[in-house]
Structure 1
Amino acid sequence: MARRDVSELADRLARDAETVCRHYLSAGRREGRYWLVGDVRNTPGRSMFVRLKDSAKGPAGKWTDAATGEHGDLLDVIRESCGLIDFKDVADEARSFLSMPHPEPEPEESRSRPPRSSAPAGSPEASRRLFAMAQPIERTLVETYLRNRGITALHGTGSLRFHPRCYYRPDEHSPTETWPAMIASVTDLSGHLTGAHRTWLDPRGFTEATLGKAPIDTPRRAMGDLLGHAVRFGVAGEVMAAGEGIETMLSLRCVLPSMPMVAALSAAHLSAILFPDTLRRLYIARDDDPAGDGAMATLIDRAQEAGIEAIVISPRLGDFNEDIRLLGIDALRAASRVQIAAQDVARFMELAA
């Protein structure tokens, strides 16, 4: 993109800086001639200020984060708040916001080098940035989505966040779309974030056809370093439950609220999860399908080789979320009670009794 075009985009955004801030920095608020927010990734707070009007101190649209020393213009705000990597995507988003036409592609030899990307697309660093830009799930569409799926135990869900405008591209030849999304952090055994999982949500709400997921071809995608790692709920000690889906494990957690659990995100990744050194008993939350059976068999073998007792918990329907939605929490509690060790009923099921 030519330098002139970049400057024109930045100038157009600066002319309506407050509207830009209200859209992309919605966690902040206006105070006088400035928009105050926590940082350029839309974290609540007051350390970053955006100039809304031209003044003797500088032009509108420029911002500075007093806590970190970061500074930039409104194109930087769009890039960081939306989690974009390629500048073309930033420009496309800015034009969409401004209702400007998209330019014709330039010849390869005339394209200037895009700005340095701070994180390769799909990398662990990009995952960390995306998770940092999202917000807690309380009183958001994520909380509504989970409750509509019968999940009421939302304590200790710091691994889940909400992004109001998470980017989705069906394929490399399609335009970028934005949908609200549940963002889940994938971490290793030490709690270091290695990846992220996105579940795009339908802002219109829950239907039995979509179960609240966005009406797109692939409403779930993962990024980063996933093998061996998982989305974690609680800190594993001697006992832990592991399964595939986030909603599956959160459903089981409704009847075993104090048992640490992990969601590996797929059958293949479930079979490869790493075991904490402290683990002595592993509950395998099985999905009732061939892939789930294969993961269960592999995980049982690996656990036994490591000297870990493996116990399979099976749903009555396809998975535990189907059980809690269609059969109810009392039926799920009763079915789970007879499948776990007697000592763990009192230890982990007492809060649900």
Structure 2
Amino acid sequence: PPTQKRGVAPAPSGSPEASRRLFAMAQPILGTLVETYLRNRGIAVLHGSGSLRFHPRCYYRPDDSSPTETWPAMIAAVTDLDGTLTGAHRTWLDPRGFSEATLGKAPIDTPRRAMGDLLGNAVRFGAPGEVMAAGEGIETVLSLRCALPDMAMAAALSAAHLAAIRFPDTLRRLYIVRDNDPAGDAARDNLIERANAAGIEAITLSPRLGDFNEDLRMLGMDALRAETRAQLATHDIGRFLALAA
């Protein structure tokens, strides 16, 4: 009798396995719409961004009763402290380009969605040692990384998840990348309390506007660098702050 082909069983929707398969199907961001999207938001420092990939036709479904659509998307790997991929974050992008109204995101109801096991985990840039920074959004964290290109950073994807982010055993000083809103204040306060209880120094980095990406786009790189310098621990200025070009 003919041999039947055994297909790969579908992964449960929204599971860590589904996240791993989605990330594996995506491609590096160099030369893609993701790179264009980030640069349009002022983010030019993209080294060590292997946690980001591009999917040209990522499924999007507004709700259970709506048909499935496809949009290009930035796919971010959510990992635990051991580097195991536990989830994924999707930012659907507008193939027509950037506008101030959408900032390059697709014109859909929820252009950002996360899946998988998120609690305590994050989208990571660089390997943390004794010092790292943690914030909410990917674009916010990458904007600060333009001023601090050698500092390890993590994007927890929401204020609630930022408050619950897990600390590496090596961590001695944590910079909290605060969003300028009540949720950001609550996440900062909770994270300071947790860090102090773990014997970790916690320092808040605050934007002048809504978040550090808004500062970067509206105020420019020199202003972002200056405000960051004023808030860093003195011994971290020479170690991490990028010199003006």
Query: TM class, shorter-chain normalised?
Result: over 0.9
Q: Alignment partner for residue 153 of structure 1, among 37, 45, 51?
A: 45
Matched to 1:140, the amino acid is: T
Partner of 2:69: 177
Q: How far has the Cα of 1:350 moved from its partner?
A: 4.0
What SS is found at the alignment partner of 1:254? helix
2:171 aligns with one of 270, 276, 279: 279
**Which of 6, 10, 17 does residue 125 from structure 1 map onto?**
17
Q: Is 1:334–2:219 an aligned residue pair?
A: no
Give unpaired runs (5+ residues) of structure 2: none
Q: Evaluate the alpha carbon distance shift between residue 157 and residue 351 of structure 1 in structure 2; reply closer, same or farther with a 3 A threshold.
A: farther
The corresponding residue for 2:149 is 257
Label 1:210 to 1:350 Cα distance change in 2 as closer, same or farther (>3 A): closer
Report the alpha carbon displacement of residue 219 of structure 1 after superposing the two structures with TM. 0.1
Rg larger in structure: 1
- Conserved 8 A contact 1:256-1:352: no
Q: 2:216 aligns with which of 307, 313, 324?
A: 324
Whether 1:242 aligns to 2:137 is no
Q: What is the rounded CA distance, in whole Å, between the counterparts of 1:350 and 1:243 in structure 2?
A: 19
Which ranges of 4 or more aligned residues in structure 1 deviate by more than 3 Å? 350-353
> Counterpart of 1:298 in 2: which secondary structure?
helix
Counterpart check, 1:290 vs 2:201: no
Q: Which amino acid aligns with 1:314?
A: S
User: CA RMSD, aligned part only?
Assistant: 1.2
Residues 63-106 of structure 1: CA deviation (Å, up to 9, x unaligned): xxxxxxxx78xxx8xxxxxxxxxxxxxxxxxxxxxxxxxxxxxx
Aligned to 1:346: 238
State whether residues 257 and 351 of structure 1, in contact with CA within 8 Å, keep that contact through their aligned partners in structure 2. no
Structure 1 position 118, deviation (Å) = 3.0
In structure 2, what is the Cα distance between the partners aligned to 1:154 and 1:337? 21
Q: Secondary structure at the match of 2:27?
A: coil
Contact 2:143-2:216 within 8 A present in 1 as well: yes
Aligned with 2:119 (options 222, 227, 231): 227
In the alignment, what sits opposite 2:196? 304
In structure 1, the gaps of 5 or more residues are 1-70, 77-115
Q: Does 1:207 align with 2:99?
A: yes
So what's the TM-score if we normalise by structure 1?
Answer: 0.67
Q: Do the aligned partners of 2:72 and 2:95 also contact (CA within 8 Å) in 1?
A: yes
Indicate if the aligned counterparts of 1:145 and 1:206 stay in contact, CA closer than 8 A.
yes
Read off the aligned partner of 1:210 and give its amino acid letter. T
* Amino acid in structure 2 at the alignment position of 1:270: L
Q: What percent identity do the matched residue pairs reach?
A: 78
CA distance in 2, matches of 1:313, 1:323: 12
| SS of equivalent residue, structure 1 residue 179 | strand
Q: How many residues align?
A: 241
> How far 1:352 sits from its partner (Å)?
5.3
SS in 1 for 2:231: coil
Using the alignment, how far apart are the partners of 2:121 and 2:100 within structure 1? 31
